Amino acid sequence: MKKFILKYQHGIFAVVGAVVVLWQMLLPGYVLLLDWIAGPSNVFSYYTLSDIMHAPSTGFIYFLQMFLSAWFVQKIFLFGLFFVLFYFPLKFHPKEIFDAIAQDKPTIISVKYFTSVFFACNPFVYERFLAGQWRVIIGYAFMFPMVYYLFKFWNNRSWHAMVGAFATLFFVGIWSVHFLVIGGIMFLIYVSILFVANLKNKGVLWDVSKKLLFGILVFMAFSSYWIVPYMLQNDKTVEYFDASHQKAFATAIDPKVGALGNVITLRGFWGESHAWADQFVMPGDNTVVFYMSFFVIITLSIIGIRILWRDVKNRGFAVFLGVFFMLSVIFSAGISVNFLWKINEWLFENVSFWSGFRDTQKWSGISAMIYVLLASVGVNLLVHSCKNRLAQKIVLGVCLLLPISLVSNMPFGFSGQIHSVQYPEQWHKVNVILKKDDECKMIFLPWHQYYSVKFNSGMLIANPAKKFFDCIVVTGHNTELGGIASIAGDVKHYHEMESFVMSNNPQDEFIEKGIAMLRQNNVRYIVWTNDLEGHDLYRYPFLHSSQLEEIYNGDGIVMYKIK
């Protein structure tokens, strides 16, 4: 047993870590979060570039759902998400950095576990998970092996390291378009610093160039399934966001430390500024403990980068980490910091792909990863400075508590804040009726992209109808943030339908014309739920029309058929 544990200690630790974090979320049922809605219905979309890029991963999910329950497939991804967060820092640990510190002493393997815990448990992961942005977290997770391969290539310029870096970047693109861009920019900065560091060595420059060119060509070949649509670049494929999106999704400003302080402490997700955040205990709510712990983290990171700078072999990589950390802070701040907003405004207006970053705080994932690497170097120095084994264990134990103190509500299912749920029985009964119609198309009410769903403990989440009903479902696409207009998606005449549904016009003539328009667009059913009854902005007076026939009325859900 002891040999087994020693052999598979990294995997065992990652399994335990994932279970401790998820806890009751692993029970049967769906975990429904702001942007992560799972359900039994499969909707495979090729509407946007991100849909096309994510097609391999989305297809894999749908393939699994052919054989397994949808909620069980989600459990696989929930568990896998936190497994890789804990496992990657253990598997892809840049050992050479720590050997430089240890010198003639053996490397303290246990320091890896600080790296693992901090990478998986920090404010960036905490907030992004509560928001259900699982693709963002996967992209963030794969940045660790990418940096590992870049570090390896810095030291040995091997084909294995270059291929590993590009393979990781390709895999990132399958899951997260945003972190593909971030990883690409990371690659560009890395190569620039590598070339500058070797300007006088033509042999090294040639060796790097040929391996880099080979990696780029192979990456482009494997990525051609989305590069070709991007090169065609039509409005139906590429998503662009305007200034209204930039303002609506701006980095949150903390009243105590401002937006910059928020970003430096790995917070600032735009949702912090809205009612959504009031549903949860957020990082920083325990102000004293949070800021004291982060001060120690920053101190350890400063120690770490000084150590790397002093090591001639790793100095260039220290420059890379330092430069990329500063850029990640600047980009993450977005337009919320007075003396930085001009930079981000210019990028948003002049760099074509930058407009895809309507939520710039995603860049804090890079800040988090660099904190993890540098703070681990600092912890390793502290551990090695201890005179005996007991002191080493005490210091390491205290350091392991640092990331936990930043997100003390993260273990045990985020302290019970998130639970697994099942869709109501009445929804299943409605779906049985819809399944009988081969040409089923329906309007789902309430007409909101996000709303508080009663069967999910009243949590604010994305409209779950499309993920549940076996029917073409037309729902509201208005985020109701600032002046952002609805994004029509792949439904023809969407804006006509939206104008009718949102009008609140009770006049019979208007309602007759509106229902006629729905008929022309092959809408056969309207389904209404009482989640926002008495609080909805829209009254839906057309539901009382004689042109609708009520065919099902259950607890909290009513189904109408258009005559």
Angle between helices 111-120 and 364-385 (to 10 degrees): 160
Q: Which of the listed residues 416, 440, 461 is the one where a domain comes to its end?
A: 416
Q: Which residues, at least 6 apart from 470, have a Cβ–Cβ distance to it below 8 Å?
A: 41, 431, 434, 435, 440
Residue with tokens 């060119």: 213
Q: Are residues 481 and 403 in the same domain?
A: no
**pLDDT for residue 285:** 87
CATH number at residue 455: 3.40.50
Average pLDDT for residues 224-253, to the nearest whole number? 72
Q: Are residues 153 and 277 in the same domain?
A: yes
Q: Are residues 303 and 234 in the same domain?
A: yes
**Per residue, what are the HEC states of 492-535?**
CCHHHHHHHHHCCCCCHHHHHHHHHHHHHCCCCEEEEECCCCCC
Checking if the pLDDT of 103 tops 60, the result is no
**pLDDT tens digits, one per residue of 65-77:** 999 999 999 999 9
d(CA 518, CA 459): 31
Q: Are residues 27 and 128 in the same domain?
A: yes
Q: Are residues 264 and 381 in the same domain?
A: yes
**pLDDT tens digits, one per residue of 79-98:** 999 999 999 999 998 876 66
Query: Residue 61 carries which side chain, given as an amino acid letter?
Result: I
Q: Are residues 440 and 409 in the same domain?
A: no
Q: Are residues 331 and 472 in the same domain?
A: no
Cβ distance 266 to 368 under 8 Å? yes
Q: How many CA atoms lie within 13 A of 398 on its CB side?
A: 13
More confident residue, 277 or 538: 538
Q: Is the dihedral of CA 355, 361, 367, 372 positive or negative?
A: negative
Q: Are residues 429 and 409 in the same domain?
A: no
Least confident of 8-22, 315-329, 376-390, 408-422: 376-390
d(CA 329, CA 337): 11
Cβ distance 328 to 369 under 8 Å? no
Q: Are residues 197 and 263 in the same domain?
A: yes
Which tokens go with 358? 């309507």
Radius of gyration of the chain (CA): 26
**pLDDT tens digits, one per residue of 354-382:** 777 778 899 999 999 999 999 999 998 88
Domain that holds residue 465: 425-562
Angle between helices 364-385 and 95-102 (to 10 degrees): 30
Which tokens go with 541? 């007076």
Q: Are residues 11 and 115 in the same domain?
A: yes
Determine the distance from the C-alpha atom of residue 13 to the mean position of all C-alpha atoms in its chain, rounded to a whole number: 23
Q: Are residues 156 and 241 in the same domain?
A: yes
Percent of the chain surpassing pLDDT 90 = 66
Cβ distance 239 to 49 under 8 Å? yes
pTM strictly above 0.85: yes
**pLDDT tens digits, one per residue of 384-435:** 888 888 888 888 889 999 999 999 999 999 988 999 999 999 999 999 999 9
Question: Which of 55-64, 95-104, 190-199, 426-435: highest mean pLDDT?
Answer: 426-435
Query: Residue 145 carries which side chain, given as an amino acid letter?
Result: P
Q: Are residues 411 and 540 in the same domain?
A: no
**pLDDT for residue 150:** 93
Q: For the chain, what is the domain count?
A: 2
Q: Residue 104's pLDDT band (boundaries 50, 70, 90)?
A: very low
Helix, strand and coil percent figures for the chain, each rounded to 5: 65, 5, 30
Mean pLDDT (the chain, rounded) = 89
**pLDDT tens digits, one per residue of 211-222:** 999 999 999 999
Checking if the pLDDT of 111 tops 70, the result is yes
